Structure 1
Amino acid sequence: MTFGFASPSQMPPPASADSARLGRMLEPAEWASAGIPLLRNPREVVAGLHERHRPEPSTAIVAVLDAQERVTASASFTELAAAPDGWGFRNVLLAHLRRVIPHDLRLRAPVRTAVLLYCRAGEPRWTETDGAWMWGLRDACTLHGLRCGAYITLTPDRWQVLGEGRGGRRPRTSPVDMPLGEPAPSGAGRREMAHMTTTYADHPRAAVGIPAQNRSVPRRTGGGAPEAHRHTAAR
């Protein structure tokens, strides 16, 4: 007599953590078929974000664009992970979006678009890390009421809009504007979040950007007060 229970050999194997992580990635073909809106002038967007944040390897820049592709808010941070996971990247992006701009969940349809620029070493071609960032960006935009926009990689020689095939030379930074070097983090799985956050007013001609350092351990002056850093963003 059988009672309809499957034998142990017929039971499906439990999903491993690694297979679940790989499932939270998007390949360029999936990204291209998702209806991601094309940037009218990706070169200008890349140059503007590069000028404002001066990214180094492992730096991610999430920016919110209005209907005219003007940057209304942006945040840059360093995110290091031994195994890239779209779930973790989604949470990090969402946390930074919440810091720099209110959500649009009350709107019937998104009116603003979020794009992600990721600076990394290696070739411009797609990697698993890129796939995890794509998955994370799409999910974070949904949870913040934004339209999911382009994912752009910035490698030593060039920038590339993945899923579109458009790219160009990496923007150059003046040696005078280069930030002072800092010691690299140790530990393969260590994550350093909120390395720098920058907000921009909705009206580009009425206000200037004021970056705020959001490090876990703030820098301090001789008197023990946190050291604030402010500068005017170029428009």
Structure 2
Amino acid sequence: MSFGFAPPPQVSPPPSADSAARLGRMLEPAEWASAGIPLLRNPREIVTGLHDRHRPVPSTAIVAVLDTHERVTASASFTELTAAPDGWEFRNVLLAHLRRVIPHDLRLRAPVRTAVLLYCRAGEPLWTETDGAWMWGLRDACTLHGLRCGAYITLTPDRWQVLGEGRGGRRPRSSSVNKPVTESRRTGAGPPEKRRTTAPAEAPHTAANLPVARGRPVPRRTGGGAPEAHRHTAAR
């Protein structure tokens, strides 16, 4: 008679501390919907204007500042490639571009201008972990620059979509044949810089019902927001 031992079950290794912290620097759909994000009155006009100005290709992010009349006053576009999206890194790069194109409003008692983010990517116009990291980064960058956190918009091969608002359209959409514009501008101010724009938005309503990509696990949130922003040194 022979005796054998069953092979031990396959156990996936626990996530590293860095991975857990990175997953904590994402905003889940429910968190974004409850954050009081102001709805855009005319998102199509803003998306079309930013697309015409920057002509984004996949992996291009466009951060824009809106005044109280929802006009773009400054904007910047840049390419961000990463295998492991991290809200902290996104926050720092957004903050660096905002500082180049528009002065901060930290001395004001309440924000009067709004920052929105348009991200051009492949895939479906549903929430992904990368979107969650961009949302976290946008919210914290706005806090550190004295701005109101505004809409997060995805531009995919099928359509553009304001996540959380349920509004979108077929045109414009992502295209790999565009040549990104490397010029940045600030409306009504000095010489053009390196890829920027702005526009405002007031918030009579809040976002809700953000779609989630099918089959994609929603990361558990372990922390984030402005307190996390102050525990790290923002890029200057």
Calculate the TM-score normalised by the size of structure 1: 0.71
- 1:159 deviation in Å? 0.5
**Is the counterpart of residue 89 in structure 1 residue 71 in structure 2?**
no
Query: Aligned letter for 1:111?
Result: V
- Deviation at residue 46 of structure 1 after TM alignment: 0.3
Mapping 1:1-235, distance limit 5 Å = 16-171=17-172, 178-179=178-179, 196=182, 198-202=184-188, 210-212=192-194
RMSD value, Cα: 2.7
Give 3-state SS (helix, strand or coil) of 2:184's partner. strand
Alignment partners' CA distance in 1, 2:149 and 2:103: 16
- Match of 2:152, SS state, is strand
Structure 1 CA distance for aligned equivalents of residues 137 and 99 of structure 2: 15
Counterparts in 2 of 1:92 and 1:197: CA distance versus 1, 3 Å: farther
- TM superposition score normalised by structure 2: 0.71
Amino acid at match of 1:201: T
Q: What's the CA shift for 1:73?
A: 0.3
Could you say what secondary structure the match of 1:73 adopts? Answer: strand
For residue 196 of structure 1, give the secondary structure of its aligned residue in structure 2.
coil
CA gap of 1:29–1:106, structure 2 versus 1, over 3 A, is same
Gaps of 5+ in 1: 1-12, 181-194, 215-235
Structure 1 residues 200-231: Cα deviation after superposition (integer angstroms, max 9, x where no partner): 224xxxx79835379xxxxxxxxxxxxxxxxx
Q: What letter matches 1:71 in structure 2?
A: V
| Cα distance between partner residues in 1 of 2:35 and 2:143 | 13
Which secondary structure state, in structure 1, belongs to the residue aligned with residue 84 of structure 2? Answer: coil
Residue 231 of structure 1 corresponds to which residue in structure 2? none
CA distance in 2, matches of 1:103, 1:199: 17
* Residue 16 of structure 1, CA deviation: 1.1
Amino acid at match of 2:153: I
Moved segments of 4+, more than 4 Å: none
Instruction: Give the counterpart letter for 1:85 in structure 2.
Output: D
Residues 147/44 of structure 1: CA separation in 2 closer, same or farther (3 Å cut): same
Give 1:164 deviation, angstroms: 1.6
| Contact residue 25 and residue 136 of structure 2 kept, 8 A | yes
- Give the AA of the match of 1:18: S
Equivalent-residue separation in structure 1 for 2:78 and 2:48 (angstroms): 18
Deviation at 1:80, TM superposition (A): 0.5
Aligned residues: 182
Contact 1:25 1:86 survives alignment (8 Å): yes
Distance verdict in 2 for CA 1:134–1:172, change over 3 Å:
closer
Deviation of the 1:163 alpha carbon = 1.3
In 2, distance between residues paired with 1:121 and 1:172? 10
Work out the CA distance in 1 between the residues paired with 2:193 and 2:51.
Answer: 14
Point out which structure has higher relative CO (alpha carbons under 8 A, 6+ apart).
2
Equivalent position of 1:226 in the other structure:
none
Which one-letter code corresponds to 2:170 in the other structure? R
Which runs of 5 or more structure 2 residues have no equivalent in the other structure? 1-13, 197-236
